[in-house]
Every structure is written in C-alpha cells, then in structure tokens.
Chains A and B, each alone.
Chain A
Amino acid sequence: MTGGVTSRAPGQAPSRAPGGASGRAPGRVRRLTRAEARGARAAAGFLVPFLALFLLCFIAPIGLALYESLLKIERTGPLGLGGETRDVWAGLSNYTHALQDGHFTAGFGRVLLFGAVQIPVMIAFATGLALLLEAASARWVGFFRTAFFLPYGVPGVIASILWGFLYVPGISPLVEMAHSAGWDVDFLGRSTVLWSIANIVTWQFTGYNMLVLIAQLKAVPGELYEAARIDGASAWQIALHIKLPLIRPALVLTTVFSLIGTLQLFAEPKVLKPLTNSIDSGYTPNLAAYNEAFTRNNQHIAAAEAVLLALVACVLSFGFLRLVGQRGNGGEDR
C-alpha cells in the first residue's frame, strides 16, 4: 500500500519538471555497452560516498536506537552503588513505559495541534509571498526575496533567544508597549507560549518555503501565462487557476517537510523553557526524549520514545502524501 504511495508521489514531480532527464529512461537495455558499463561504474563511484554516509549517519543510528529501545539496565550491589551495571533484555517494556507517560503522549497532542494551526498559516504566507514576488508587476524582487529568506539563515537556537527577549516581560519592548496600551499580554503564559513558539517557527521557515515555491514557479513555462493573458485572464485568475495548480507538488513537499519539522520541535521550547514556568520537560516528544536520555539517564526509554516519534512522523507524512495523492489523481482523471 505505502509502496504504491511512495512511488506515485515522487513520480509527480519529474513529470511536471522540465528538462530532458526523462528522455533516457525508457531505453531499457539487455546488455550494457562498454560505455554504459563505464557509466554504471562511475555512477556507483558517485553513489558510494552518499550510501556510506547514509548507512553510517541514518540507517545505523536507527538500528542502534531500535536495539537500545529493547534493553533495560539492571544494577546489582547494595542500593545499586558500586555494583555491576548491565543491559538486559526488556522486550517492549520501554515502549509501554513511554506510552503510559502522560507527559510524552501529551507532547504529541501539543505538536499535532501546533501543526494543524501553524502549517496552514505558514504555507499560506509562503504561497502569498511567492506569488507576489513572481507577479509580473513585482519590483525589487531580489531584495525582497533575500529579505524574506534571511530568517532561515538564523539558527533555530539563536532565533529562539532573540524572540525570547521579545517575549520576556520587563525586558521586551513589545510587552511594554502592549501594557502601556492597556493590554495585559503574556507571551509566555500557559495558553500562549505554544503560539509564541509557532510565531518563531513561522518567522523562520516562511521564507524558506517561499523559496521552494518560487523555484517551482520559475519552472512554469512562460508560454502558459502568455496564452492565459491573450485569453483575457486577469493576474488573479492566472495566480488562482494556473500558478497554484502548477506548484501543487511544491506545496505538498513543503507541507510534508513542515509536518516532520513540527513533530521534531525541540530547539524553540528548549531555549524558552528556562524563561517560563509554562513549558515542562515533556513539552514536545523530542524534548521528552532528550530529557529522558540526558537528564534522567534512561537512554533505553529515550530510544523507545525516539522510535515512536519516527513511527508517527512516518505514518503522518505518508498518510498526508496518500491523501493528496488520491485527490491529485482524481483531478487528473477528469
């Protein structure tokens, strides 16, 4: 099932992308010519560094996490002091522990709520900016494109520290202004801090997503616009009926990236945590796993939580792809 989804989803992008790479694909050969054999060797040579790093930095850690998540620590000696420490088989007990931990599961609920609100807002912003910058009447395009993209160049930790200063009462000019206007605002309160984090993330990633969308817009052949204009389409109609449908693959891509990024929220709540009493140690699943591993020294439970997080990210990403994939097909059939 999922296999069908994966093969379909990436398939969409190249079919719309211009360029001649697809031209060579149909030529299936029984026997490789010498030149082709050399090409295959060269390709393998180019692939090896990637595959080696992919194995080392991606597959191996996942394998290790899976393995570690199935162990637990056993200590001997009086009070566990000075005795022997060894790892023993734990079965799935780390997983049950993680799932019974209210903080950990609450963290999932929180990031899902976050994603349901923040991702649509951010993608809408990014799409709006991309369309504006790619509009025929746009001026100073290079400057604005860079300006909008710039926040992405600020590391998440630094961004969170900067915004932290704008959120903390007594320091923040924003809070001061709001107070003098009679508005008792608390950016770090229990009910507001999640949206303050959403603001940081939106500030950081809107420009990035905008750039991905612009890249796809640039790939749309100019003749389409020309034809539409000749047919009397307004700029609005062009944006709505030509540009938006054509950047659909990029929209899907940015949404999936954002979905994964949201599930992995870590730096922002981690940096803001000391500033407020509204963020607990399991505020997001990643923060929970981090604290389990490094504050509580329960690496095995942390591994189980990391695996669970990866599973959820997988299910949601492919679920989303499947959802939009089906709709996309329906549209094409008509």
Chain B
Amino acid sequence: MSMSGMREPRRRAVLGGAAAAAAGFALAGCGGDDDGSDEPKGRKKGQKITLTFWSWVPGIDKPVDLWNSENPEVRVKVEKVSAVDGAQYAKMHAAIKAGTPPDLGQIEYPVVPSFLIDNGLLDLTKYGIDRYKDKFVGWQWQQSVFGKGVYAVPQASGPMGLFLRQDLFDKWGIEPPATWDEYEAAARAIRKKGAWIETFSATNGNRFAGLAWQAGARWFGAEGDTWTVSIDDEPTRKVADYWDALVKGKLIKTIPDRQNAWYKDVQTGAMASWLGASWGDALLVGNAPKTAGKWRVVPMPQWKRGEAAYANWGGSTTAVFAKSRYPKDALDFAVWLNTDPASIKLLIENGYGTPGAKGGYATSDLDVHKDFFGGQAYSKVFETASKGVDTSWKWGPATDTLYQRLGDAFTAAIGDGSSFRSVLTKVQRDTISDLKEKGLKAEAG
C-alpha cells in the first residue's frame, strides 16, 4: 500500500508539472493577449482529476456532493480534519513543510497570514479571481488581500451577538443588557439568583480579540516592510480591565467554553447567556436541544449607549494551496462553493455563519433554527452586527501563536491573581519576539 501510495503522486506530479509547463508556453505564446478562454490551465480538456479538500465544517460534504454530480471531470474529495485546539492548521502547516498539502483547505480569516509567510497559499489573482470580486462582501474579501495578491475565497464571517436565556432573564426580572455597564449589573443580579451570566475562558484568545476589536483596538498593522504590534493599546486595556473586574468580583466563571462542563452549564441554565457569533446558533441547538424555544439573540453590549460597534469571531475562507496541480479548477470549485445559490443553501442548512457572498440568499434564509429562538428572526441581529464591524482590522502573521500566548498569560493571571493588564504587557512583548523569531521584522505599533 505504501509503495503504490508513494509512486502514484510522483507520476501525477510529473504529469502535472508537464501540464503546467505546457500552460506556461501557451501563455507565452499568447503574448499576454488574454483571450479569456475557459481552457483549464493545469488540466487537459476531458481529463478527469480529483481535488482534495481539507475541512472540518459539518455537512460540507453535501455541497461537495452536489458539485461532484455536476462536474464529473473535477471530482472533489473532502477529507475531514479535526478542529480541536488548532489541530487542522498544525496538519496543514506540516503538510506544506512536507510538500504534500491538499489542493484546497478550510482556513479561518485570522490564520490566513500565517500560511502566507510559509508561502503555503496560491495567489489567486494569477487565475482570475478578480473577476469574482463583486460577488463577495467587501470587507470579507479584504481579509485575504495582501499586497496585490488575493489568497483565499471568502466563505463566511462570524459577527458577534449575545445569546441569552430569555425565560430566565424574564423570571429574574433582568433586562437584556445593552451596554457593558448593564452587562456587569446583569452579571451581579444573576449571581444573586445562584446562576452565572457567562464564563471568561482564558484560552479563548479568539473571542478576546473580538472584544478588543469592538472596543476599537487594532492589534496588527504594517509600516513599510515591518509588522507593527499594538496589543497593549488603550482600547484593549479597557476591555482587559473590564473582564478582570468581573473575574476578580467572582461575577463570572473561568471555565473553558465549549467544553463538557460548559455544555452542561448551558443545558441546565447554570449559565444564562453566551457572548457568541452568528455560527453559534447551530452549536446551541446541537448541544442543548432541551432548551429549545427559550433562547433569544440580542446585539452585543456597547461601550456607549446608542453606539453600533461590533466585532467578528471566526469566519473562514476556502483557500487553494500553492502546490495544487490544478489551481484553476480548484479556484473554480472554491468560487462555486461560496457563491452558487444551491451550494449556499446547503451550507446554511448546516450552519456556517454569515455568508461571504453578497447574493444568492435572503437574510431570512439564515434563520434555520427560528423555533429554537422562540420564532425570533435572529439573523437580523447578526446582519446588523455585520454592518457594524470595523473592517480595517487586520490579522498578524502568527495568530495561533498569539492565541496561545494569550491563553497562557490569562491562565497564569487567573491562577495567581495578577492583573489582566500585565497579560497585555507580556503578550505584546512575546508577540514581537515571536515574529522576530520567525524571521520577520516587527516593532511595537
């Protein structure tokens, strides 16, 4: 098995290389005269190929099956990867280093740059992605633009919102909080009833980034050829102080989120709300089915009453790896997957967040779990949030490392009682040294 398994790709690589060379000659022959022919560059007409696609999204095989039935020549094979603790990216990075990545991969916005510094992703502008630009929500498109290149096809984003147990809030006579001050008051009131409003999970750097994002932080930037890092900035300090006070005042739990103990708390109502994102509906439905009808979604609390500042948590792209032998076909699939109405319909049914595509669906289509939220048209909340996301936020080139640094530092701070501000100081310092360690230029922003 291993023998044939080793021989096969090599032969295909040779074929692919020859085809790519032929394509290169063909391009040269054209003398830059783009005749816009739909001839696949890496694949001879009529040749049957298989593209591999690493993803962890539940139900992703359904749109892929649809594609396969419509495109017998370009078969896409989904290989499920684990999304626990960033395992999928560890696997992708290892595959890139080993020179055997798949053709396509599910990659979240925050980690796209970390693949770029490894030269792992294909610049899709070479294969004409620009002509699809208008099909996508502008800022989601921008998340994968670096320099003149476009490195991924937007799939979905995760505008944040507050999921809460309306029945419990009503029973306790607590209004859903509209500001962070009210949120703290609600936390206090819920504590008096013996329950908790939430948890501050030390290891959830992703959500903490969202909270800072909402407050106006800009953690990463670029000046010339140097990365600027400003994790220890005023907006982030405000957020850190706020949650520090909640933790120190024992108004909030500190268990990890989306783990067994947390699910149990959500199921039993021991935790009355969750600051989540648009993809969170499916997560609650799947893990707390008995609480159906009791949940509602309200906008994320604001720092000033009447403001409309929101943030994004998660969201992914479909990217083509640089080593793909059939980049043109891979791009075609990635665009189809994320813009074709039939595909979007299937993706929505399985719960994937707020689409990156501009059209092809109506907001009400996203209310898949309306009954669970007592008939609320909850996707409206996320649609509004999506429009209020400050779209100038950029991710740095080592987001997984950053999350781990945040996780370690928050873990230590919650353990020994030191301030969350000291966490920011430490993570700021560590991140700059991490980037330098990766051979990049970095300085405090």
Task: Report the separation of the CA atoms of residues A273 and B114 in the bound assembly, to the nearest whole angstrom.
Answer: 24
Closest to A273 in B: B85
Tell me, rounded to whole Å, the shortest Cβ–Cβ distance linking A137 to chain B: 45
In the complex, which residues of chain A have a beta carbon less than 8 angstroms from the beta carbon of B147?
78, 81-82
Task: Report the separation of the CA atoms of residues A77 and B149 in the bound assembly, to the nearest whole angstrom.
Answer: 13
Closest to A86 in B: B439
In the complex, which residues of chain A have a beta carbon less than 8 angstroms from the beta carbon of B94?
294
Tell me, rounded to whole Å, the shortest Cβ–Cβ distance linking A30 to chain B: 46
| CB <8 Å contact, B404 and A277 | no
B222 near A: Cβ within 8 Å? yes
| CB <8 Å contact, A170 and B149 | no
Task: Report the separation of the CA atoms of residues A79 and B256 in the bound assembly, to the nearest whole angstrom.
Answer: 34
Which of the four size classes fits the interface of chain B?
35 or more
B307 near A: Cβ within 8 Å? no
A159 near B: Cβ within 8 Å? no
Stretch in B117-125, B168-176, B207-215, B287-295 touching the partner: B117-125
| CB <8 Å contact, B116 and A81 | yes
In the complex, which residues of chain A have a beta carbon less than 8 angstroms from the beta carbon of B415?
190, 277-278
Instruction: Decide yes or no: A280 and B90 within 8 Å by CB, A171-B261, A275-B260, A297-B114 being known contacts.
Output: no
Tell me, rounded to whole Å, the shortest Cβ–Cβ distance linking B137 to chain A: 23
In the complex, which residues of chain B have a beta carbon less than 8 angstroms from the beta carbon of A275?
256, 259-261
In the complex, which residues of chain B have a beta carbon less than 8 angstroms from the beta carbon of A82?
116, 119, 123, 146-147, 149
B225 near A: Cβ within 8 Å? yes
Task: Report the separation of the CA atoms of residues A301 and B439 in the bound assembly, to the nearest whole angstrom.
Answer: 13
| CB <8 Å contact, A170 and B116 | no
Which of the four size classes fits the interface of chain A?
35 or more
Closest to A270 in B: B85
Task: Report the separation of the CA atoms of residues A295 and B406 in the bound assembly, to the nearest whole angstrom.
Answer: 13
In the complex, which residues of chain A have a beta carbon less than 8 angstroms from the beta carbon of B441?
79-80
B356 near A: Cβ within 8 Å? no
Tell me, rounded to whole Å, the shortest Cβ–Cβ distance linking B146 to chain A: 5
Which B residues are within 8 Å of any A CB, using their own CB? Answer: 84-86, 89-90, 93-94, 97, 113-114, 116-119, 123, 146-147, 149, 201-203, 222, 224-227, 254-256, 259-261, 264-265, 268, 270, 397-398, 400-401, 404, 407-408, 410-412, 414-415, 434, 437-441
Which A residues are within 8 Å of any B CB, using their own CB? Answer: 72-75, 77-82, 85, 97, 103, 164-165, 168-171, 190, 273-282, 291, 294-299, 301
Q: Can you identify 9 A-B contacts, CB atoms within 8 angstroms? A: A75-B439, A79-B225, A168-B261, A170-B260, A170-B270, A171-B261, A190-B415, A277-B414, A297-B114
